[in-house]
Amino acid sequence: MEELRPEFDKRGVKVVTVSVDLPEVIADRRHLHGLQATMLSDQSLVVTDAFGLRNQGVHSAPPSESAKALPVPATLLIGRDGTVLWRDLSENYQRRSDPSVVLAAMEAHFDTLQ
Amino acid sequence: MGNMRLGTKIGLLAAAVAALTAWYWFHLTGNVALPEDRTAFVVVFLGCVVLGVAAFVKRTSWLGTLPPLFAIAVGLFFPYTMMISEQVVARDAAIEVGDTIPRFASIDDSGVEFDSRSLSGHLVLIKFFRAHW
């Protein structure tokens, strides 16, 4: 996602990531996911549940996982008034939102706003 | 070649099909181009398992046990990962286009508290992802 950084900056987009990892694990992995994003640790799935994105699948978390469940991979674009403008839910964790898909969505939903 | 046991031959075939299919899988994964419907993959991988078992039934040479074992392992592993990777959300609970995002508080990777009010007035991209694995 970090390859879209110039596109985020151009539009003044704030990027927030949510995962169930411990803060120190996220900090460790920060270089992989996004150097300038706000990276939230949602161990108790409070944020995930507020968005209704808890994975209800039976095998949602392997036994080694510290969290008891996981979010469904999802990307949301939010307008200045807090309205969801675009949503991409992955049916499978091996398919995440492709950067080109996210860019097209920003062009369609952010660039048409005044 | 001529005196190779039938089971060994079947095992080699099974391993070759399993390796090629796994390679193709990774190739598609790399391009984020895996199809939604993976029935064909499941069929081929489980076919490798069947061939692998058939190789043992037909008897292999000692070294010949390795290809069918590989085929069986690969053939079981991929359908297993597909099984555990199913994503299901409670559709009526999931946030949708047009909804206003809920107010939330959390902590970031430096342990600093985060309040979603800091997002108002900004264009925002929120990304939920599974843990690092």
Mutate to test the interface with B, among A35, A68, A92 (most CBs of B within 10 A): A92
Q: Give the model confidence (pLDDT) of A22-78 as tens digits.
A: 888 888 878 766 668 899 999 889 999 999 988 776 544 454 455 667 788 889 999
Paired sense of beta strands B105-108 and B113-115, if any:
antiparallel
SS3 B81: helix
Is A79 exposed, middle or buried (CB count within 10 Å of its CB: 0-12, 13-18, 19+)? middle
Mean pLDDT of B83-89: 65
Query: Hey, of A1, A3, A11, A16, which one would you mutate to test binding to chain B, going by the most B CBs within 10 A of its CB?
Result: A16
pLDDT at B39: 86
pTM of the prediction?
0.65
What pLDDT is stored for residue A63 in this prediction?
46
pLDDT per position as a tens digit, B107-124: 999 989 999 999 999 999
What pLDDT is recorded for position B48? 96
- What is residue B98's predicted lDDT score, i.e. its pLDDT? 94
Cβ-nearest to B87 among A15, A92, A106: A92
